[in-house]
Every structure is written in structure tokens, then in C-alpha cells.
Homo-oligomer: A and B are copies of this chain.
Amino acid sequence: MAIQPRQKPETVSTQYALDDQIGFILRKVSQRHTAIFAAAFPDLTAPQWATLAKLYESGPTSQNQLGRLVALDAATIKGVVDRLGARGLTMTAPDPADARRVVVALTEAGRKEAERGFPVAEAVTVETLAALSVEERAQLVQLLKALE
């Protein structure tokens, strides 16, 4: 069947505009953030950086707990930790107190990478929010945190 020219959908009054939906807007803003992040961190993804930064501030943490802290489910945090470990930024060891657990920690290289990254990550945030005034930035963060 050939494709016919579209007929105006007169019967269905569609107020719905995809471009105004919060989910669609969130995805586009996230895409822009991802691009800014990638330019600033050529060798780390945002979830990888989040994992490094959280390990730095929390210290050695079990893998699943670490995942909860950085909002990555068990399957995803495993992959992230595996890749960070393969690059020598993290190390793992069994938890002596709980045989189910794997404790993840930064290596010295991981600590240094985190410390190098902090100002860069700040710059990523600033660049992402550059179109907004200081008040608007605070407002946006506050509104988004209400939706977490």
C-alpha cells in the first residue's frame, strides 16, 4: 500500500504537543548536557564520573550500595565498576563481614582522577546552565529536586 498524503486530523482535537512534554524536554536537555560533558571529559562518561566522585566522598562502598548512591541499578553499576576497574581507577575486594558483598574503592590513580575532575565537573555544570541567571539556576535545581 502506497503512502498517502496526510489528512488533517480534524476529528481529533490534539492539544498534545510533544515538544512541550516534560519527558521530551528532559531528554533533550540531558542530551545537551551529555555533549558538554563528553567535550570536557573525553575519557569518562557521566555515570563513570558520578561513581568516581561518590566513591571519593563516601569512601569504600559495597557495589550495590554505590549503585544506589549514584542512581544506577545493580546491573548497570556492575558494568561501570568493571570498566573503571579495568582502567585502574577503582579496585574491589570481598567484604570480610558479609560474603555477599564486594567492596569498591578508589585506587590512587582514581583519587587523582577525581581530584583533577572536580573543577572540570563544576565547569560542565556552569556551561550547561549558562543560559540562566544565578537565580534561575537555583530555581531550576530546586524545582527538579522536587521531582526526584
Contact = CB atoms under 8 A, between A and B. Distances in A.
Interface of A: 1-3, 5-6, 9, 12, 14, 16-18, 20-34, 37, 46-47, 50, 53-54, 56-60, 70-71, 91, 93, 103, 105, 115, 118, 121-122, 124-125, 128-129, 131-132, 136-137, 139-141, 143-148
A147 B29 contact: yes
This chain: copies in complex: 2
Given A16-B118, A22-B125, A143 B132 contact: yes
Contacts of A136: 143, 146
Majority SS of interface residues in chain A? helix
B124 A29 contact: no
A59 B5 CA distance: 7
A28 B71 CA distance: 7
6 contacts: A3-B103, A25-B141, A28-B148, A129-B147, A131-B146, A131-B147
Contacts of A132: 143, 146-147
Nearest to A2: B93
Given A27-B71, A115-B12, A143 B146 contact: no
Contact of A30 (B30, B57, B140, B143): B30
A144 B6 contact: no
A147 to B, nearest CB: 5
Contacts of A118: 12, 14, 16
